Amino acid sequence: MLIIFSFLVGAILGSFINCVVYRLSVGKSFLAGRSFCPKCQKQIKWYDNIPLVSFFLLRGRCRACQQKISWQYPIVEFVAGVLFVLVFLNSFSGLTAGVFMLSCFRVFVLLRDWFFVVILLILFLYDFKYYLIPDIIVLPAIALALFINLVIAAVGNSSLDFLISQFFNFSISGLLAAGFFLALFVISKGKWIGGGDIRLGVLLGVMLGYPLIIVAFFLAYVAGAIIGIILILLGKKTMNSAVPFGTFLTAGAFIALLRGDWLIEKYLSLTF
């Protein structure tokens, strides 16, 4: 039941993610107003706005104007549902519902990670579509991520020394990540990386802290290099083509969030 619940929550928030990305792209507020068809502007009834289900019942078309609905919508809803399940399993695999409810600390961690997944998916999708990192999402998320991580740290360990060490860990990780991207920006005169990636580096640093931020960066660069080479070989890109690097960074951050500790453990076991 908890797995099904996790998927449903993820799918519902996946619908919200689609809404955020679209409204940001057209300069509309995503915090107010009901959902509407982007083609005919008609408000969408609640029964036509059920994640995944409504798309297939409507056969992928708006009820009002019969224009096609992008497959992006059910795909993002499904992916969000799956990611929420993976995060849940990573935190609570093998636990009963009773143990789940009693483990307050792990519930807090789960809610934090779900929040991080929503932010990462918004940034992934927006950068993938528009080659931009929206500051209206990144800047508030930096403050929220740092605050949430400190609250989690306080819940897990009430020691003031531990809380201070965690504050410096997340803060310095964010600053060093931003510094790394800033150096690339200056050296390349903005050709290798954009200003949005610098601010995204701060966000990922305060989300993940050390050493997970290193895992995220490593995965992002490896994935970016592999996919970039494939696209060049297929003739889809050239050496001078722009690449939405934020998509690789956010994907790397999710993997680091989910399995970063395991990857570090495996790496250390092979090298030492």
- One digit per residue, pLDDT tens: the chain, 272 residues? 788 999 999 999 999 999 999 999 988 887 777 787 788 878 888 787 888 998 898 888 888 788 888 899 999 999 999 999 999 998 876 555 555 555 677 888 899 999 999 999 999 999 999 999 999 999 999 999 999 999 999 887 778 888 899 999 999 999 999 999 999 989 988 777 888 899 999 999 999 999 999 999 999 999 988 988 888 888 777 767 777 888 999 999 999 999 998 899 888 888 76
Cβ(205)–Cβ(175) under 8 Å? Answer: yes
Instruction: Please give the structure tokens belonging to residue 70.
Output: 């992008």
**Ramachandran angles phi, psi of 131, nearest 5°:** 55, 40
Cis geometry, peptide bond prior to residue 211 (ω within 30 degrees of 0): yes
Rg for the chain, CA atoms, rounded: 20
> What whole-number distance in Å separates Cα of residue 21 and Cα of residue 260?
27
Instruction: Please give the structure tokens belonging to residue 255.
Output: 């993997």
Cβ(52)–Cβ(44) under 8 Å? Answer: no
Instruction: Please give the structure tokens belonging to residue 95.
Output: 């636990």
Q: How many residues does the chain have?
A: 272
**Ramachandran angles phi, psi of 61, nearest 5°:** -135, 150
The whole-number pLDDT of residue 141 equals 97
The whole-number pLDDT of residue 250 equals 95
Cβ(136)–Cβ(149) under 8 Å? Answer: no
Cβ(210)–Cβ(173) under 8 Å? Answer: yes
> What whole-number distance in Å separates Cα of residue 199 and Cα of residue 68?
36
Q: Name residue 66's amino acid.
A: Q
The whole-number pLDDT of residue 272 equals 64
Q: Name residue 119's amino acid.
A: I
Instruction: Please give the structure tokens belonging to residue 116.
Output: 């991080």
> What whole-number distance in Å separates Cα of residue 243 and Cα of residue 170?
28
